[in-house]
Chains A and B, each alone.
Chain A
């Protein structure tokens, strides 16, 4: 049987069902399909039965047609089944062992976990947290992973953190399941699809570039933005990203710029350099991007922003100016390059001038001045990127400008060589003599050390201390996930309880510490 005639007839009958059997007399395409099918009518078998059934339907009374249409469709579907193919033609490449995990857990054990992943609301957070604490291996079961992937659209911050922890642990094993359920045209699941794309790129990188390129044409709006941002995983996409930057608009355009920050070619560097000069709102596109180009652009942006702030000649910064400045500083978090290092040196030399640049009294959002923004930036950089270069930078700045950057140097030592940190810095927080009045330099040093200590959180459940950073929304995991301390030197706690140590003006003091961060930087580890 000529199957294409059968499929065509089936499609026309289904169209008739959509339009309504009362329209059959106007359905010329159906008539054409029936005419073409007539050649098969004489075969005496299924072809003949189909032809007669369809003709009967077309010539029947209007009230009889629906039932006859269904009968005809039934015969057609049965014939499609009877002629169904089975064999798969071509060379077969045998499967090799994959990374799937089979825990052998029964349905009763998985059911509450799967139900929690499928439901919404805050109640499921505790269920999932318990499962993660007690049976983390179940999350990697390939029967659970599809449900986890489907739950990625959840907007609760705790769920994002949990999923980040789970997916980071699963690694590449999760990638097939993230791709499997991807539907670019799913109207209610855009956030879920964006997160799938993000995690495929994060876990598999350039290995999945082909897949990312294949889905790009099918994606629109926020999903398109996510795919474009993900294209930064492969250097091969440099030219495409440059083209997208020229042709896309709005957030997709910014996504292209963000992805371009990960490229290493000269074309991308030239584009970024040009854009930084043209658009002061570019730097947010550098946030979370860890590349030489991004670090260099961050350096350029910092220089421009701080130079411009100084050249204004005015000490009070407006809301908009603070916004630009802070975004430029955020863009530098965690980054390092030779150019950025040079920039840090220049910034350090001008910190006293930056101290005088303060938010206008009507600006409520920030209570840090331009210098304090940089002090915090360096601490965050140490937390995000404890590379040898960053440590050396923090040590140098901490030595040369201790009242500004000793905190970063202390934090570096706390993370990398905690035993030495106390020996080196413990003395700075203890008063010399009961009656000694703390001078400005001593106070500045103490505050720096207190701020560094406040960045350490006590992970009581696991019996360790971890450095805490502002949540890395782009990377999906707090810095505590990247490294940890086993136990902080107990002499810190003993010293801080010493009456010779001034507690005032420390992290609880609005004026001398980063009060924005007092919510995040709490000295929880002192019990």
Chain B
């Protein structure tokens, strides 16, 4: 069992929770620290706002990579800040006395075993019913992966300059085959490569001008094929449930079953959503508009997003939402940072000062913590290349020609638009010309990303949250 700060951050439901956990540890809130002899289970008591301390535990005995957590606090998010704090205690190498596992840890362990058994039983039923079909699908997918690897190998052996020499429409044909094989992630990336090549040809660009984008896509495709091959081979042999590879699950044609999500707890009850921003991008490869809503979920105190893909020919469109939404049941895809959510029913109410105040409370005070959290999330080439963040404003202004956000502790980050967004991405410019610029105490919501041209972490601002309301720089 290896624990590191990166690992803790990757499991935290939000950057604010991770910060709070670390603060609890640094402030010495934990006492009666205990562990088992085999170092697989840790527990302690943590002083909280209540009169009695909270009982916190982290248990690796059933899985080396995915421990079970428990905490007696009333917080709904998991892992809560107390569990994260306990992990920081372990990371800091503090002394844990060896002892017998206490009853509440046994109870938590039994619950987890029961859930795993239920999941396994359900999977067993699914396995028996569709083994033959599934095997055929897996073989088709593995075959598709070989075609992708062959294309990449030919392209890179001959050089990116030879992309225009590929047989006409071969990339388009390959993408259709991949779609038919349920290799959706590969299909989308191959379509993006084809779109990049078309653009180069139509605009008469030298391949060097699109090299960076082509390589990024090829690296992503390579990561996809490597992980998919391993994942699919595992599936073929063991039929293990795909929850631990949620990104891959979707990109391999998996569709979330809402009943399954409810069963494994990937849903939230009585969620409260406030939309912070809404953006729209045109995906040339898919010939569709990608509409994303970014929300603060106040019940759990984190950020989520909604996604709608609207064909260029038409289709239902999402919209900006200026109300607060109460959602009885909110489904989410398993993901540490900013899960994608959707729901069936909601009731809207007018945004109140208290709602805005609750959003402002989610703002991080320190840019350094925000970036550290984002960096841990951005390591996966299959995930979006940006992480939503809300940061408390100290000052906003120019350092020479660079628009910059400074937090209350003089930490700074450049405010810059991500490349390739076309006319709609001029968020940083809109921020700079606001009639009322962000002031101390406001918060800036945006997407943190790493600009690979100069290796700098930047924030693309999406909205300004003030006590008086939300000013949107996108939609």
Assuming the contacts A70-B222, A74-B222, asked whether A100 and B430 have C-beta atoms less than 8 A apart, the reply is yes
Looking at the complex, which one of A86, A89, A94 makes contact with B395 (CB distance below 8 Å)?
A94
A101 contacts B by Cβ under 8 Å:
yes
**Do B379 and A176 touch across chains, with their CB atoms under 8 A apart?**
no
Question: Using a CB-CB cutoff of 8 Å, which residues 145-169 of chain B contact chain A?
Answer: 149, 152-153, 155-162
Assess the B278–A94 pair: CB atoms within 8 A: no
What is the minimal beta-carbon distance from A359 to any residue of chain B, in angstroms? 46
Contact A66 B157 (CB under 8 A): yes
Q: Which 4 A-B pairs have the closest CB atoms?
A: A20-B159, A98-B433, A100-B433, A66-B156
In the complex, chain A residues whose CB is within 8 Å of the CB of B157? 20-22, 62-63, 65-66
CB distance A92 to B423 under 8 Å?
A: no
Q: Which residues of the partner chain B approach A20 to less than 8 Å between Cβ atoms?
A: 156-159, 161-162
Known: A84-B375, A100-B430. A181 touches B423 (CB 8 A): yes
Contacts of A315-353 to chain B: CB distance below 8 A: none
Q: List 13 A-B contacts (CB under 8 A).
A: A17-B160, A66-B155, A73-B219, A74-B381, A77-B452, A78-B379, A86-B411, A86-B414, A90-B399, A98-B434, A100-B433, A108-B320, A143-B472
> In this complex, which of B149, B162, B212, B426 has the most chain A Cβ atoms within 10 angstroms of its Cβ?
B426
Q: A3-B455, A97-B435, A101-B435 are in contact. Are A18 and B397 (CB under 8 A)?
A: no
Give the CA-CA distance A187 to B199 in the complex, in Å: 12
Give the residues in chain B near A17, CB-CB below 8 Å.
156, 159-160, 211, 215, 218
Whether B404 is near chain A, meaning CB under 8 Å from some CB there, is yes
Q: What residues of chain A have their CB less than 8 Å away from a CB belonging to chain B? A: 3, 7, 14, 17-23, 62-63, 65-67, 69-71, 73-74, 77-78, 80-102, 104, 106-108, 110-111, 114, 118, 142-143, 146-147, 149-150, 173, 176-177, 180-181, 187-188
Residues on B with C-beta less than 8 A from A21 are 156-157
By a CB distance below 8 angstroms, the chain A residues around B452 are: 77, 80-81
Number of interface residues of B (CB under 8 A): 73
In whole angstroms, how far apart are the Cα atoms of A65 and B318 in the complex? 45
Which residues of chain B from 426 to 472 have any CB-CB distance to chain A below 8 Å in the complex? 426, 429-438, 450, 452, 455-457, 471-472
- B341-387 with Cβ < 8 A to chain A: 367-368, 371, 375, 378-379, 381
Tell me if B110 counts as interface (CB < 8 A to partner A).
no
Roughly how many angstroms separate A171 CA and B428 CA in the complex, as a whole number? 20
CB proximity of A383 to chain B, nearest CB, Å = 36
A65 to B157, CA, bound (A): 8
- Contact of A142 with B430 at beta-carbon distance under 8 Å, contacts A93-B398, A147-B424 already known: yes
Inter-chain contacts of A146 with B (CB < 8 A): 423-424, 426, 429
CA–CA, A290 to B37, complex, Å? 91
B413 touches A110 (CB 8 A): no
- Please indicate the chain B residues that have their CB under 8 angstroms from the CB of A177 in the complex: 426, 429
Instruction: Please give the distance in Å from B223's CB to the nearest CB on chain A.
Output: 7
Q: Are B215 and A83 in contact (CB under 8 A)?
A: no
CB-CB < 8 A to A67: which residues of B? 149, 152-153, 222
Residue ID in chain B nearest A89 by CB atoms = B399
Closest Cβ of chain A: how far from B200's Cβ, in Å? 11
Chain A residues, Cβ within 8 Å of B162: 20
Is B252 an interface residue, CB under 8 A from the partner? no
Cα distance A63–B156 in the bound complex, in angstroms: 10
Of the listed stretches B41-49, B81-89, B201-209, chain A binds B201-209
Known: A74-B381, A88-B413, A180-B429. A18 touches B211 (CB 8 A): yes
Chain B positions near chain A (C-beta within 8 angstroms): 149, 152-153, 155-162, 203-204, 207-208, 211-212, 215, 218-219, 222-223, 278, 280, 317-320, 322, 367-368, 371, 375, 378-379, 381, 395-400, 402, 404, 406, 411-414, 422-424, 426, 429-438, 450, 452, 455-457, 471-475
Q: Closest CB-CB distance, A226 to chain B, in whole Å? A: 20
- Complex interface: chain B residues within 8 A of A81 (CB): 375, 378-379, 450, 452, 455
Given contacts A69-B156, A95-B396, 13 further A-B contacts (CB under 8 A): A17-B159, A20-B156, A20-B161, A67-B149, A80-B452, A81-B455, A84-B457, A88-B402, A90-B400, A95-B431, A107-B319, A142-B426, A143-B424
**Assembly CA distance A21 to B215 (angstroms):** 13
B396 touches A19 (CB 8 A): no
Query: Is the Cβ of B219 less than 8 Å from the Cβ of A107?
Result: no
Q: Is the CB of A94 within 8 A of B219?
A: no
Q: In the complex, what's the smallest C-beta–C-beta distance from A423 to chain B, in angstroms?
A: 49
Chain B residues with Cβ under 8 A from A147's Cβ? 423-424
State the majority secondary structure of interface residues on B: mixed
Q: Is the CB of A84 within 8 A of B455?
A: yes
Does B456 lie within 8 Å of A85, measured CB to CB?
yes
- Residue numbers in A under 8 Å from B399 (CB-CB): 88-93
Contacting pair A83 B424 (CB below 8 A): no
Chain B residue numbers with a CB within 8 Å of A3 are 455
* C-alpha spacing A69/B153, complex, angstroms: 10
With A66-B153, A87-B411: A97-B436 Cβ-Cβ less than 8 Å: yes
**Across the two chains, which residue of chain B brings its CB closest to A151?**
B423
The reply to whether B437 and A22 form a contact with Cβ atoms under 8 Å apart is no
Complex contacts, A187 vs chain B, CB 8 Å: 203-204
Query: Do A188 and B203 form a contact, CB below 8 Å, given A67-B149, A84-B375?
Result: yes
User: Cα distance A95–B464 when bound, in Å?
Assistant: 14
> Do A149 and B423 contact each other (CB < 8 Å), given the known contacts A84-B457, A176-B432?
yes
Whole-angstrom distance between the Cβ of A229 and the nearest chain B Cβ: 25
Whether A85 and B457, one on each chain, are in contact in the complex, defined by CB atoms closer than 8 angstroms, is: yes
State in angstroms the CA–CA spacing of A101 and B438 once bound together. 15
Q: Which of A18, A78, A106, A114 contacts B320 (CB 8 A)?
A: A106
List chain A residues, Cβ under 8 A from B411. 86-87
Enumerate chain B residues within 8 angstroms of A108, measured Cβ to Cβ: 317, 319-320
Chain A residues with CB under 8 A of B437 = 94-98
Q: Which residues of A contact B156 (CB under 8 A)?
A: 17, 20-21, 65-66, 69-70
A86, B371: Cβ atoms under 8 Å?
Answer: yes
- B306, chain A: closest CB distance, angstroms: 13
| Min CB–CB distance B158 → chain A (angstroms) | 5
Among residues of A, the one whose C-beta sits closest to the C-beta of B282 is A118
Instruction: Return B388 CB to nearest CB of chain A, in Å.
Output: 17
Q: Give CA–CA (A313, B404) in the complex, Å.
A: 73
Report the separation of the CA atoms of residues A93 and B280 in the bound assembly, to the nearest whole angstrom: 32
Structural contact, A176 and B317, CB atoms closer than 8 A: no
Contact assessment for B404 and A88 in the assembled complex, using a CB-CB cutoff below 8 Å: yes
**A2 → chain B closest CB, angstroms:** 13
List of A residues within 8 angstroms of B160 by Cβ: 17-18
Asked whether A18 lies within 8 Å of B319 as measured between CB atoms, the reply is no
Contact of B397 among A14, A73, A94, A111 (CB under 8 A): A94
Contact A176 B429 (CB under 8 A): yes
A14 lies within 8 A of B434 (CB)? no
Chain B min CB distance to A174 (Å)? 10
Residues of B within 8 A of A176 (CB): 429, 432-433
On chain B, the residues within 8 Å of A14 by CB distance are 211-212, 215
What's the nearest-Cβ distance from chain A to residue B3, in Å? 19
CB nearest neighbor in B for A117:
B423
Q: Are the CB atoms of A19 and B159 closer together than 8 Å?
A: yes
**Which single residue of chain B is at the shortest CB-CB distance from A71?**
B222
Q: Residues of B contacting A63 with CB < 8 Å?
A: 153, 157
Q: How far is the CB of B19 from the nearest CB of chain A, in Å?
A: 16
